[in-house]
């Protein structure tokens, strides 16, 4: 899985998350990436981020990508994304709410793009 444009990172993230593919999700982050958690705590490094992604995927939550803005300057881009978060309770009740995120992605030496900073669910 490789994002060849900055905005492709979002599409690939949502596709991999909904497919429960943690390896594909983790491949979208640089080794030293930073993930900002709800409440403001941070997780740094791909191994710690992979563990957080495992927990997120295990939640059963799914996402629908709504829209995004991409602001690029050279090898860096800021992404601003709106999505629908879909939760299904044990009794089958489905609830949806809006999600917003901001990310910084960087072009890699091979021309692909990866997350440097991920701020989901703000």
Residue 1 lies in a domain: no
The CATH number that applies at residue 75 is 3.10.450.50
pLDDT tens across 18-57, in order? 999 999 999 999 999 999 987 888 999 999 999 999 988 8
Place of tokens 């992979």: 50
Cβ 96 vs Cβ 85: under 8 Å? yes
What's the pTM value of the predicted model, to 2 decimals?
0.89
Q: Into how many domains does the chain fold?
A: 1
Q: Which domain holds residue 113?
A: 8-119
Residue 2 lies in a domain: no
Residue 112 lies in a domain: yes
Residue 3 lies in a domain: no
Q: How far apart are CA 94 and CA 88, in angstroms?
A: 4
Residue 73 lies in a domain: yes
Average pLDDT, the chain: 90
Residues ≥6 apart with Cβ < 8 Å to 105: 3, 6, 9, 76, 77, 79, 113, 114, 115, 116
């Amino acid at each position: 899985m490789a994002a060849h444009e900055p905005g492709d990172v979002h599409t690939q993230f949502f596709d991999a998350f909904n497919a429960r593919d943690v390896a594909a999700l983790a491949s979208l982050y640089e080794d030293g990436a930073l993930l900002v958690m709800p409440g403001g705590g941070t997780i740094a490094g791909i191994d710690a981020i992979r563990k957080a992604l495992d927990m997120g995927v295990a939640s059963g939550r799914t996402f629908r990508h709504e829209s995004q803005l991409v602001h690029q300057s050279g090898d860096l881009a800021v992404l601003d994304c709106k999505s629908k978060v879909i939760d299904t309770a044990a009794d089958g009740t489905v609830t949806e709410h809006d999600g917003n995120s901001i990310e910084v992605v960087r072009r890699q030496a091979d021309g692909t793009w990866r997350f440097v900073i991920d701020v989901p669910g703000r």
